[in-house]
């Protein structure tokens, strides 16, 4: 019974905030931090889902920005939040129907190492990558 309650509590931790709750998440690992990233308009949310000592935003901010940029394909202008939940302001208009606008944004290149699939014992396994910009 205690395991079920713990699992239920942990599942609620990565559900996202109210503005992003009903959106699908993309799980990204960056330099030891694992994030569920959701996009809505010109905002991105990164919810850190792994247990990791991070008492303040400082050490996590760059990793969250990198995860949001990787999922959105846009540079991140600013990151706000705390060590568990961050919101990034995307520096390109993802809602634009004119793809020429998106082509004008210089994409960031990443060097990624594929560490295989993490299997949590259920259908929620995900691919694990370590990525660094170059």
pLDDT in tens, the chain (134 residues): 554 434 334 444 555 677 787 888 999 999 888 999 999 989 999 999 998 876 788 878 999 999 999 999 999 999 999 988 999 999 986 655 334 434 444 456 677 777 777 666 655 566 677 777 76
Q: Check if the beta carbon of residue 72 is closer than 8 Å to that of residue 44.
A: yes
Burial class (CB in 10 A: 0-12, 13-18, 19+), 67: buried
Q: Check if the beta carbon of residue 47 is closer than 8 Å to that of residue 35.
A: yes
Chain centre to alpha carbon of residue 83: 12
pLDDT at residue 129, rounded to an integer: 73
pLDDT at residue 70, rounded to an integer: 92
Q: Check if the beta carbon of residue 43 is closer than 8 Å to that of residue 19.
A: yes
pTM of the model: 0.61
pLDDT at residue 51, rounded to an integer: 86
pLDDT at residue 8, rounded to an integer: 39
What would the two tokens of residue 91 be?
Answer: 């520096």
CA distance 30 to 65: 10
């Amino acid at each position: 019974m205690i395991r079920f309650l713990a699992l239920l509590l942990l599942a609620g931790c990565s559900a996202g905030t109210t503005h992003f709750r009903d959106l699908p998440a993309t799980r990204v690992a960056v330099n030891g931090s694992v994030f569920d990233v959701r996009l809505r308009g010109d905002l991105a949310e990164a919810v850190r889902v792994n247990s990791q000592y991070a008492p303040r935003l400082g050490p996590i901010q760059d990793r969250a920005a990198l995860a949001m940029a990787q999922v959105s394909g846009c540079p991140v202008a600013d990151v706000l939040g705390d060590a568990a939940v961050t919101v990034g302001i995307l520096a390109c208009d993802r809602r634009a129907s004119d793809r020429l606008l998106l082509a004008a944004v210089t994409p960031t290149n990443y060097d990624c190492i594929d560490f295989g699939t993490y299997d949590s014992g259920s259908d929620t396994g995900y691919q694990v990558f370590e990525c660094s910009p170059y």
